[in-house]
Structure 1
Amino acid sequence: MAAQLLKRFPFTSQGRKSSSLFCYSSSTPSSGEASTTQSVVTTAVSILNHHRSKSRWSYLRSLCPDGFDPDDFSQITLHLRNRPHLAFQFFTFSRSLCKHNLASYSTIIHILARGRLKSHAQDVIRMAIRALELQEDDDENNPRSAPLKVFENLVKTYKDCGSAPFVFDLLIKACLGSKRIDPSIEIMRLLQNRGINLNVSTLNSLIYCVCQCRGIEAGYEIYREAFRLDEESEKDMKRDVSVIPNVHTYNTLMLCCYQSGLIEKVKKIWDEMLELNCVPSAYSYSVLMMAAFCEEGKMEDAEKLWQEMRSKDLEPDVVSYETMIVGFCKAGNVEKAEEFYREMAVKGIEGTCAAYEHIIKGYCDIGDVDSAILVYKNMCREGFRPEALTLDLIVRLLCDNGRVDEAVKFLRNAIYKLDLFPKGTSYEAIIKRLCYEGRMQEALKLQAEMIGKGFELNSEIYGAFIDGYMRQGNEEMAGALRKEMMQIQMRS
């Protein structure tokens, strides 16, 4: 059906204005009915164009107390094609007074697209799809068929509304927003059969959605089809290739490959990008560094790629710097990671909480708690709010190094000055250390605070108290705690 409609209604790049009003009625009204309808339409258009915004809606309501017919709405809206904001206001007003059908929805969608009100157009497209799905007919209740029916009506009404080609891009993006992948692909194919190209950004969105929902292999196949990269016949070579993959296309594919753990596939897509003379961006380099080198700890190779990027006058962005910072932290070279962070600041690129936390974790991993605390303090001075995990890493490392008093002070400062909510493991680490040092009263006080914050006692904490009392020779208290722990374990 849609393919036939496309053949009957060829497109132009700008569309075409109709010399007469577009009417959707399938029946031919009598002369009296036509005269009455025309009178309502003319009066409504006059009210909308000439009355003040506060009064026009009450006038319209009095003009049509029983509401608007969808055909009337379409004809009125076509008169407002050069005032898309007013047309949208009229549509919003009409929703309680008009039982819109696909034709009237199509009219306002075209007018909004023509006026570049893209977000409003997508909202109305979603309304039209939902309206179709709510109808009782089994076929129209099929979520796959609803977008295609909207597409068919947009094709049918395209020229009369003087629309713009990217109305179909808006339709596909609206479908992708609700993960309607199959109709999006079918609409793309119908348009391609008529030589109509979707915007590359729309195709990139389609590729990303397919990758996320169906896997990178399915996304890669759609990429090849969307950009017609497998058409090799003489006829195909003469086709319109005005839409070609851009760097965002390849960044999308490489990122999805990386997220799926397909490192070799990232390199393959990188090579394909270069073969098609597509110039990589700083983000492209970031994904390759992250996937091919930093993830595997090959930091020498990552630095070579970094220098290659700089030699091509590509300025690293925050993602590039964070990629290198994370890579060096994982490799245990945290000082080098800090160098990249300082360079980022010199370049005027605003630091991120994530970069700080990676550096802190890096220092904790190599046991340098003093450096971790210094970075933590810098992070707080810059207004970043650390995660509870970051706090927990430092607390546990302080306890492991026998610096339990510093750990308690550090924890209290985070709770009362930074309003952080710690992890239960932070309390557990301090309690275990206090018990090990025989400071049972301090451990009990902290245990009460821990319970007050909603954390439950576990066998590790019971064991710490039991060991602590046994070292003090208090076997009675240790036995009571052991019995209490057994009772709790039996209940659970």
Structure 2
Amino acid sequence: MGIMLLLMRLSTSNQFTLISEKLALFSTLSYKSCNQYSISSKCKAEIDRVTRIINDHPFPDQPLQPTLLHHVPSIVLSATFVENVLGRLFAAHSNGLKALEFFKFSLHHSQFSPSSDAFEKTLHILTRMRYFDKAWELMIDMRQRHPSVLTLKSMSIMLSRIAKFQSYEQTLDAFKKMETDIFVGRKFDTGEFNVLLRAFCTQREMKEARSVFQKLHTRFSPNTKTLNILLLGFKESGDITAMELFYHEMIRRGFKPNSATYNIRIDAYCKKRCFGDGLRLFEEMERAQCFPTVETITTLIHGAGLVRNTQKARQLFEEIPRRDLKPDTGVYNALMSTLIRSRDMKSAIELMDDMEEKHIEHDSVTYHTIFLGMMRSAGNEDVCKIYNKMVDSNFVPKTRTVVMLMKFFCENHLLDLGLHLWTYLVEKGYCPHSHALDLLVTALCSRGRLQEAFECSRQMLVRGRQMSEAVYRMLERFLLQSNETEKLEELNKMINKLQCELDRCSYHQQIPVEDCEIPQLHHATSNLETRMQRRYNLE
């Protein structure tokens, strides 16, 4: 019933027979600004409108600045507005050069000074796509015009991406350049040292992190945050022995562990399915007067799920109010994951309903977890029911969920729903990831729906994102077989022009999957650096 209802809706709007290029002006997508203040409905609609204008602007055929001047009045360019548009562009996988142009536009036409958050988002978008030269230029420009936006977080964004894509020596050179050329007049201390260590730890490069620690710990006095950053690096690399050896070495040096220290060690044991050891550390934590946090309970519930101990997971969950803690989305996600591992889908759905009743929002992990469980144990109807619910709530899932859904639709003869998902994302102002395009175009071509495959590919290119070589070759073959040489020429022209622009601006050759990995299911956020900052307060 759920599939038929959704397909009837699609048929009525003719969305799956021809992908529409006309974008809606407004949406009811609900989200908050980076400073956590609520935004008015009118402001949300304006943010959505400007985001779509930027994301759908043909790149690099036309300059973006005149379009912004025509469509974006300077009166709306508040700091919060700029932050939210850039946040949407980041989540939408927009071309980094477009985001940079919007940020520059806001500098010249806003009555407000740029915020650190807006600058950091722009920097993150640029470095994610490896536009390191542009990122350095932007940092130098901010040093000269708005030095107050240069923060430890902006340094961390830059160094973490350099550590990921470049060498150990280049990362150290970048740190030195930060000290001598960017943060001029600022005395580098433990905070900056921690940022450098975090850059290697986020990439699980613990040999390099050890080397940096040995070289520089005499110059910069390590603190408890230093200890936690390195412990987290060892944990994420899966080396519990090295983590524990380092922990005890630090204790001998006089460092006192805090709740974040215990959370990291508990998480390490839980992920290795040593749940008993995790509980032992939990009890030790309480004896040491390091009071557990919601993150501690979340970690233990996830650990209980890994060893299929649903009873203990529920017990830990029910203890949260008695500990004067407030349950959040993360802890609900952890229990939901535990229930799904035990194939108790009914209870998992009830938990999702309980979140709604208590006004605890569903996030991308919530939807990813429930979709994954349903795909393994339920039928197509149930998956489509939750998908329909997600769309009705105007929720836009993250890339890994989009790819998982697209694969499910394409492999289960639900290609029209795959097209609906693509159109839904485009109309929300998002540029779907190349993995999703690969799956959709392959399925469309195999079923003879060449026009729609071409249109999806063209939409990706118009938005300044390249398609993969494998899918291009497949589409080329089908277009030639169908004597659609004009369409092939159009694609070739767009690809060549876009690649020339990307090569001119990018440090390395563009790689379709460089800006988003597709990790496995986890109860916390999928990005390691974000986990470090949010869960362990390592900013």
When normalised by structure 1's length, the TM-score is: 0.46
Greater C-alpha radius of gyration? 1
TM-score (norm 2): 0.43
